[in-house]
Every structure is written in C-alpha cells, then in structure tokens.
Structure 1
Amino acid sequence: MWRAAVRPLIHARDRVAATRAVAYFLMAGGSVVGACALLVPGFAGGSTLGVLTTEAVAGAMVAAGALCRLAPQRVPEPFWVIVPFLAVLLIGVLNLVTRDVSVSAHLYFLWPLLYAATFVRRDIMYVLLVAASLTDAAVTFWIKSDVTAVTDIAALVTAYAVSTIVVSKLQARSEALVTRLEEQALTDPLTGLPNRRAFDLDLGRALHAGAERALLIIDVDHFKTINDTWGHGTGDAVLTRVGTALRAAAGPGDCPARLGGDEFAVVVTGGEERARAVAAQVRAHVASSSDLPDGLPTLSIGLATTADLPAPTAEALLAAADRALYDAKVHGRNRVASSSTRDERRKDPRFLTTRSSDGYT
C-alpha cells in the first residue's frame, strides 16, 4: 500500500539533510585538521612525514565532502550508514598520528555519533556508539598510559552515550510527529482512505513498476439528491460505506483512495478481468448494505487499463477512466463501463450499448 512497513537504513526524506551533514563534517573537519597540521607545532607528530600525511588526509576529506554536497544522487544508500563508521576510524587514526588526546580531539567523535543519532536506525546507532567508544579508548591508552587516561575515557564515553541517546530520543519524537503529520496529509479523515495526494503517489509508483495496471474511477450515483433529501449525515454515512467496500475488495498491491466529494478510485494490480472483479465486489458490498429507498446508493464506475493505452502515463490512464465513467453515467448509471468498450463503440456507430459488470445493457 502507500505506507512503508519497515524503516529503511535512512529515510528518503532525510537524504538531503544527511548529505549536507556529511559534506559539512568532511569539509569542516578536513579544513581544521589541515590548518592545525600547518600552524600548530607538533600537531602532526612533529615530523615532515606526519605533516604531509595529515595534509593528504585533510585534502581527501575536503574533496569527499565537496563531492557529497555537489553530487548526492550518485551516492548509494549504504554509504550513508557506512560513512559514520569511516569517520570514527578516520578520527581515531588522525588522533593517533597527531598524538593528540586533548578534549578537542576527543570531541570530534561526537560528530559521527550525532549524525547517526539523527539520521540512521537505532540499532546501527548503538553499534556506532560502541565502536567510537572503543576506538577512542584504544587511542587514548596507546598515547597516554597513566591513570588519568582511565578517568578521561570514563567521562568521555559517558558524554558520548548521554549525548547520543538524548539526541536519538528527540529525533524519535520528531520522527513520530512527522509520520503522524504525513498520515494526516495523505489520509481522508471521513473514510480513512488515502486522499488524492496519496493516490497520485500510488498511481505514479504503480505505473513505474512496469506491470499491467487497471484504474477504477467510482462515482456515487445521485449523491446530491441523497444529501438534499436525507441530510449530510446520511451522505457521510454513504461515503464511509463506499470506503469500507473499497478496503474489503482491494487485494495486495491494490490502492484504493477517495479523490474528493463522492468520487473514489482504485489502482488495481492486473488487467481488466481483475478490475471488473474488484468493481463487482464493491458494488455488491454497497448494494447489500443499502438502507435507502430506490436501492440507493448505486455506483457508476469507469475502467481503464494500461494495456489499452499507447503511452500508459498517469494522465492518460486517468483521462481514459474518466471518459469511461462518463459513458457509464450517460447510459443509465449503476454500471461499469470500460475504456476498451468505449473505443469499440467509437469505431462502430451501430455499437450503441455500453458493457455493464453483468454483460451489455
């Protein structure tokens, strides 16, 4: 359906922000390290080789950051999970080469940790927290073997854990709020079905998949009369009933939606035969639950398939289904009309009937 069940390694909506975070970390970190290697005596180990090595690493960081910023579309998804681990390794190596165990050197580890707490899944974040703590401890004990190293590492690991977990919790609350807002923005409040915005997304994704798809456009017959005669409360109950029928008839991969007013739609996985079966189920469900005079509500349904279109775009499929819906209304309502039948009738003037779900009417 239109909502993902499992969160990916990094959410699609976070890719732009993650790109900028990585780019700024690499460019800022590389610039600072390169400047310190040139300007701070002893920063790069006090040797020419140390300075050259540090400058090479710093230059590579700046170049990689610029690439991430300028061409994020070329970066595969796993990179955004691997990059904080690479950052931890890089920071550890630089601290070891420069023999720097000052507070500022330790705090570099917060950058990848905060990145992970903000953008990647919680399980990966905890693995990174352990990796950063162990790397920092190993480098610190290698350079500084006295008892103060133990207290330094204990304090720093505590700070890493608290900072990471607090940011992670705040991010989780923010993500829950964004998810709720997305659901509200993509859901029709009356029927609980996806709304027009969600339908457009579903239709685009369905056509992008390449398999045959059918589209049903559904209109409640004489809906204005229902509202005017029995009141808007009854009209709302009718719309809710249609929404329930659509959910009951839709199978895996089908995408029902309320387009607005008394108009609904279903993107059906498969061709015309499957779409007709779905339409028949919807009509039968609504008819069996009708409690209004004259058998109301009834449904007029327009059907179109990608197989009938030379260029199966969303716009073309919608237009074909709309034309079929018009045919269903013109020829008496309470029926299913397909775009393929309409095309046959246009070719043969003697073909004056439209095909209903039970045959020709």
Structure 2
Amino acid sequence: MRRPCADRGEVGERASLRRSMILARDRVAATRAVAYFLMVGGAVVGTCALLVPGFAGGTTAGVLATVVTGGAMVFAGACCRVVPERVPEPFWIAVPILAVVIIGGLNLATEDVSVSAHLYYLWPLLYAATFLRHDLAYLLLALASVTDAASTFTLQPINVAVTDVAALITAYCVLTIVVTKLRARAEALVAMLEQQAMSDPLTGLPNRRAFDRDLAAALAAGRRTGAERSLLIIDVDHFKTINDTWGHATGDTVLVQVAAALRDAAAGRATAARLGGDEFAVVVEGDVEGAQRIAARVRSTVAGISDLPDGLPTLSIGLASTRSGATEPEALLAAADRALYDAKVRGRDRVSVVETAPRRQPRTVARP
C-alpha cells in the first residue's frame, strides 16, 4: 500500500506528473507518430508542389515556400525518429500547434478548400486526443476549428463556407470527444491492471515488483537531494513452524497481521512491501534513527496481536541506510540482508543495523 503522505519533494514530483503534457509510457509512440507524419506529410506536400500544376498557388514563390516547408517537415521528422530521447517537454504540444498552423497556411497558399485539405487537420487532432492531456486536446480542437474556419471563409463564398465549417467542426468535435473518452476508459483499465500487477493478493501490500520500483525511486530522489534513505528487511521468525503446527490458514492470518502492522508503522515517510513468503521490506525516507522507530513500532504491534500459545510470531529485522555508502538498490538491499542474517544468527527477535561501511560487522539492538 502506498503511503498516504510524503515529503515536499515527492509532492512536487507528483504535481509535476499531473502537469506533464504526455505520459512517460506514451512518449515513444508519440515520437514515432510525429516522425512519420512529418516525414510522409512533408514529402507529399513537397512532391505535389513540384509535380501538380497550380498546387502551390501557381507561382514560383508559392512552390518554393511549399517545398521548403515540406523539406523542413521531413528533416524534423527524421530528427524525431533518430534521436527521440532529445525531444524536450514543450515539443509535445508545440508539434500539433505547429501542424495546425502549417496546414492552415498551406491551404491558404494553395487556395485549396477540398475535402483532402480539411482532412489534414485530423492528424494533429488524433495525435492530441491520443497522447496529450485532455485539456490540451480540447484546446487544440478549438485552434484547429478556428484555423480551418478562417481559411474556409477566406477562400469560399460565405453561404458555402457556413455549411462546410459547421460540418467540419462537428466532425472534429465528435472525433476528439470519442477518442478522448475511449482513451480515458483504456487508461482506467491499464491503471487497474497495474494495481493488480503491483499488489500482493494476500496482504494488499505492494509486491516485489513494486518494491524494486519504489526502492529505486527513493534512492534516486535521495541522490538528487542528498537526503538519507533507509531500508528494513523483515522476516517472520519460525514461520514454517507456525504453518506446520497451526496450519496454513493460521500462517496466512499471521502474514496479514504483520502486513497491517507494517502498513500502520510505515504510514507517512515509508513504504511497506511483501517480498515473498514471510519476508517483508520497508523503504524509509529518512535516517537510521527513524527506521529504528518504525522497526520498534512494528515489533511491538506484532507482539501485542499474537494469540498463538508459543508466543509467536516474532520478527527479525535487518536495517541498512545510505549512510553506509550503499546508495544503489542492489547494494542497499545486500547490506540489509546481511543485517537480517546477523539478527537471525544472534537469536532472532531483534533488529540488526548496518550503518557504517558495508564491510564492517553489523551491531545488534536487543529487544527491549
């Protein structure tokens, strides 16, 4: 389960994501769509200007301007296809706006008000409805409608233009609304599948896949800000004995109780996860002392909820932090695993901490 609140840095990152013009997972597809449109559209426009009489207004200046524009489109598309990683954030909204302006300008320059001329507007509208935020998609719909109406009223008699513009804007609106609604439904389904893929079905905690993602994100944020990050690895002591003695249903109940204790203790600046079996983890956005307080709270809660006659379950916990020099996920996880092993060797039911160089022996904090 994700923590309900976070520090200012994470809140800022989430706000930035909400303001983002396009989702990260859509950027590759969007870049390719832009690249292919620019290359194909530029090639078609340039070729028609050279080969179709009267296409560019019947003047040398019109042909030259159209060919240059088409060549620039092909070049920009090739750049998008070859180096998509260098595409800046404003590119995603600038491209459809520029496309609408170019289409409107070319229609005026070529004095073309045929059906094919109007159909060019469908690409930027489809692109925006498919990839951009919905508010940006509707803003582009308004821009395309105004641009197309302006060129149509300029090139046609007003009685003909009114009918054409009404039909075109209706088509543009229907297209944008339908595609954005279908996209919203698809995104809701994707979000549900992602939630299922990232959650442990028994405890409701994030699973190992989600833990790997959250740990990497927390350490990356820590490197950017210089803040310390800590990791707890928790093991339920003698869990096999619990299963063998009291049955797997009781074992599952114990896991659910431990998960609830971790969820409560981690609320705020930490994220709990189930790694598998009877092993759990907590990523702490804080120092060793803060992680120790979480560990103590979890052990105290679990000790208070146990109703098994032999006093189980108890917890062995390994703790490591980036203070030890382990700033990469693999290194921090390995350090916490060594601390957990030390806790088990020393008798279980305790917290073992690695907070200096990874090579040094962990020290043990006895159960109070």
- Give the superposition deviation at 1:181: 1.2
Would you say the 8 A contact 2:200–2:274 is kept in 1?
yes
Alignment partner of 1:192: what SS? coil
Residue by residue over 1:71-105, the C-alpha shift from the partner in whole angstroms, topping out at 9 and shown as x without a partner, is 11111122112221111111111111111111001
Report if aligned partners of 1:327, 1:337 keep a CA contact under 8 Å in 2.
Answer: yes
Which of residues 45, 50, 72 is equivalent to 2:62?
50
> 1:185 aligns to what?
197
What are the ranges of 5 or more consecutive residues in structure 2 without an aligned counterpart?
Answer: 5-13
Number of the residue aligned with 2:236: 220
Distance 2:357 2:260 in 1: 29
Mapped contact 2:3–2:269 kept (Cα < 8 A): no
Specify which of 340, 344, 354 is matched with residue 325 of structure 1.
340
Q: Using the TM superposition, give the Cα deviation of residue 253 of structure 1 relative to its aligned residue in structure 2, in angstroms.
A: 3.9
TM-score between the two structures when normalised by the length of structure 2: 0.91
- The correspondence for 2:130, drawn from 102, 118, 126, is 118
Report sequence identity in percent. Answer: 68
Please give the residue correspondences for 1:1-361 in structure 2 after superposition, counting only pairs within 5 Å.
Answer: 1=2, 7=18, 8-209=20-221, 210=223, 211-309=227-325, 311-340=326-355, 346=361, 354-356=364-366, 358=368
| Cα displacement (A) at 1:153 | 0.9
Paired residue type of 2:254: V
Separation of aligned partners in 2, 1:253 and 1:119 = 33
SS of the residue corresponding to residue 57 of structure 1 reads helix
Q: Helix, strand or coil for the counterpart of 1:147?
A: helix
User: Aligned residue for 2:7?
Assistant: none
Q: Is the 8 A contact 2:263 2:272 kept in 1?
A: yes
Deviation string 1:166-205 (CA, Å, 9 cap, x unpaired) is 1111111111111111111111111111111111111111
Kindly tell me: are residues 71 and 252 of structure 1, through their superposed partners in 2, closer, same or farther at Cα, counting changes over 3 Å?
A: farther
Change (3 A) 1:206 1:357: farther
Amino acid at match of 1:313: E
Counterpart amino acid of 2:332? L
Tell me the CA shift for residue 344 of structure 1: 9.5
| Amino acid in the other structure paired with 2:251 | G
Distance in 1 of aligned mates of 2:199 and 2:94: 35
Shift of 1:346: 4.1
- CA 1:51–1:223 in 2, change beyond 3 Å: closer, same or farther? same
Give the match's secondary structure for 2:310: helix
Q: Which blocks of at least 5 consecutive residues in structure 1 are unaligned?
A: 348-352
Q: TM-score, normalised by structure 1?
A: 0.93
1:193 partner SS: coil
CA distance in structure 2 between the partners assigned to 1:273 and 1:231 by the alignment: 37
